[in-house]
């Protein structure tokens, strides 16, 4: 009988020969994941791991939910595909379901990925202003450190130079300003006394660029892939006021923060604002099938209902709003609501932070940031200079966690010299005991590597 390790080596060789991987150097040997259940994975050697990154920030309800597979299966049997050039029941029902959380104030355009959702948002923002007799408003303001997708427009909005390197020049009309990084404040302010000066920089950028040229500001409620940068309280509210002042649309990217991840259904709800456009993906289906949404406020959408020849929205996507994906998403949202995963994210996220905050006394731990089940641990050479730690040491901690049965992440390939943040985002279904396991492995691995 051929043992598992021999089989795994064969699969790894076949993978190397045939599969290109994202964010992975060519020489790196991938984990071959065989199956998954709840919060845990099993590889081809039979080793089990806690998936403390929810796949790619997306498996919110955990793996192996048969009712999600059944919802998709039943829809596939009844009617597997039809494009939203017409319509179908699951898309209508899903739009209504999401709108229950949004006070019935939005209409929805379906795509297949977060990148597509953001691309759609940019087109909607530019067309909106054009049809509002403001054809010069086309620029999009984003923040450095932020990630908004890998397609050319979404990558242009992304504020991570290492993600863009060798793919430039990208799309024109995208601007960047400072992120809300309270640990490394670009404006040299102290937390608690900054008066959200980083938000004021958005105001200044729009003014300097001439507000009649700026269409929209895009931002995540929390910069996630850039290092779990949690803005100070009042930041989002101030950005909303700035956008209103300049007649600029506010696009909130909820691709990661949405569907319970932060302890609210959507991240922007922590500050009670109303975005003009909201983009969603990942947790919408818990990653079980590809699906994304661009939500547009109804009062903004009215601009697309004029009678002129080109006033309708003319973007089209083959697979956006796939009936099976929509049916699955409907069930997924029911699970998130009915099984209390939004409140669980808040409670378990606070538990995780309380368990790991003792690491702040470690000389190589500069900052720990969290919101719901998003956690970032920023590692430094020393706490006085705050010099980012070498990326090799970050990788060693990730490897140490893996050896102990936990998969965590990092802010990889973002900003040169600042890929020094460990990231954690487990499924929202995680329980108390598993949080203790996760926090124990994190603390032990950091102390082992950074002695």
pLDDT tens digits for range 364-414: 999 999 999 999 999 999 989 999 999 999 999 999 999 999 999 999 999
- Distance between CA atoms of 391 and 417, rounded to whole angstroms? 8
Task: Please compute the mean of the pLDDT values over residues 55-61 and round it to a whole number.
Answer: 98
Name the pTM for this structure.
0.96
**CATH number of this structure's domain 31-61+340-449:** 3.90.1150.10
- At 68-84, the pLDDT tens digits run 999 999 999 999 999 99
List the structure tokens of 170. 């990208």
Greatest extent of the chain over all pairs of C-alpha atoms, in Å = 73
Task: Please compute the mean of the pLDDT values over residues 142-162 and round it to a whole number.
Answer: 98
Residue 29 banded pLDDT, cuts 50, 70, 90: confident
- Residues whose CB falls within 8 Å of the CB of residue 314, separated by 6 or more in sequence, listed in order: none
Nearest C-alpha neighbor of 442 from the set 431, 427, 426, 419: 426
- At 234-254, the pLDDT tens digits run 999 999 999 999 999 999 999
Task: Please compute the mean of the pLDDT values over residues 282-291 and round it to a whole number.
Answer: 98
Average pLDDT, the chain: 96
Domain ranges of the chain: 31-61+340-449, 66-338
The CA-based dihedral angle spanning residues 275, 254, 346, 428, taken in that order and rounded to the nearest 10 degrees = 150
The answer to whether domain 31-61+340-449 and domain 66-338 are alike in fold is no
- Distance between CA atoms of 282 and 60, rounded to whole angstroms? 8
For 237-270, b where at least 16 C-beta lie within 10 A, e where not — what string?
bbbbebbeebebbbbbbbbbbbbbbbbbbbbbbb
Would the pLDDT of 420 be above 70?
yes
Task: Please compute the mean of the pLDDT values over residues 28-38 and round it to a whole number.
Answer: 93
Would the pLDDT of 325 be above 50?
yes
**CATH number of this structure's domain 66-338:** 3.40.640.10
Are 218 and 205 in contact, with CB atoms under 8 Å apart? no
List the structure tokens of 293. 């949404």
In the prediction, which pLDDT does 307 show?
Answer: 79
- Distance between CA atoms of 221 and 262, rounded to whole angstroms? 9
- Distance between CA atoms of 427 and 45, rounded to whole angstroms? 23
- Distance between CA atoms of 25 and 445, rounded to whole angstroms? 23
For residue 124, report the phi and psi dihedrals to the nearest 5 degrees. Answer: -65, -45
Q: Sheet with 409-410: list strands edge to edge.
A: 365-371, 374-379, 421-424, 409-410
């Amino acid at each position: 009988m051929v043992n598992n390790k021999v089989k795994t080596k064969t699969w790894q060789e076949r993978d190397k020969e045939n599969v290109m991987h994202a964010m992975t150097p060519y020489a790196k040997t991938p984990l071959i994941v065989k199956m998954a259940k709840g919060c845990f994975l099993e590889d081809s050697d039979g080793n089990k791991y806690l998936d403390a990154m929810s796949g790619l920030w997306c498996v919110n309800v955990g793996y192996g939910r048969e009712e999600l597979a059944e919802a998709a299966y039943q829809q596939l049997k009844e009617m597997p595909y039809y494009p939203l050039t017409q319509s179908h029941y699951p898309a209508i029902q899903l739009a209504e379901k999401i709108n229950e959380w949004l006070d019935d104030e939005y209409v929805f355009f379906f795509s297949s990925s977060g990148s597509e959702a953001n691309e759609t948002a940019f087109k909607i923002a530019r067309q909106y202003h054009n049809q509002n007799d403001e054809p010069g408003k086309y620029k999009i303001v984003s923040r450095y450190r932020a990630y908004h997708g890998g397609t050319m427009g979404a990558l242009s909005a992304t504020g991570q130079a290492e993600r863009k390197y060798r793919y430039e020049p990208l799309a024109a009309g995208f601007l960047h300003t400072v992120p809300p990084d309270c640990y490394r404040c670009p404006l040299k302010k102290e937390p608690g006394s900054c008066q959200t000066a980083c938000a004021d920089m958005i105001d200044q950028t729009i003014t300097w660029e001439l507000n009649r040229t700026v269409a929209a500001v895009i931002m995540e409620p929390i910069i996630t892939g850039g290092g779990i940068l949690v803005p100070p309280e009042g930041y989002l509210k101030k950005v909303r006021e700035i956008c209103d002042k300049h007649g600029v649309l506010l696009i909130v990217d909820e691709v990661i923060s949405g569907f319970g991840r932060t302890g609210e259904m959507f991240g922007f709800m922590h500050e009670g604002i109303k975005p003009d456009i909201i983009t969603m993906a990942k947790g919408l289906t818990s990653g079980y099938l590809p699906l994304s949404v661009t939500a547009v406020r109804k009062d903004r959408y009215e601009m697309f209902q004029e009678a002129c020849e080109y006033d309708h929205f003319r973007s089209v996507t083959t697979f956006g709003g796939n009936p099976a994906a929509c049916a699955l998403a409907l069930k997924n949202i029911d699970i998130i609501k009915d099984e209390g995963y939004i409140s669980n994210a808040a409670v378990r996220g606070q538990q995780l932070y309380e368990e790991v905050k003792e690491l702040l006394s470690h000389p190589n731990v500069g900052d720990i940031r969290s919101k719901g089940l998003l956690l970032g641990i920023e590692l430094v050479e020393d706490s006085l200079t705050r010099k980012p730690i070498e990326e090799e040491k970050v990788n060693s901690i990730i490897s140490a966690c893996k050896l102990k049965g936990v998969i965590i992440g990092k802010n990889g390939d973002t900003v040169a010299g600042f890929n020094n943040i460990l990231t954690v985002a487990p499924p929202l279904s995680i329980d108390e005991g598993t949080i203790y396991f996760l926090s124990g492995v994190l603390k032990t691995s950091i102390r082992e590597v950074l002695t």
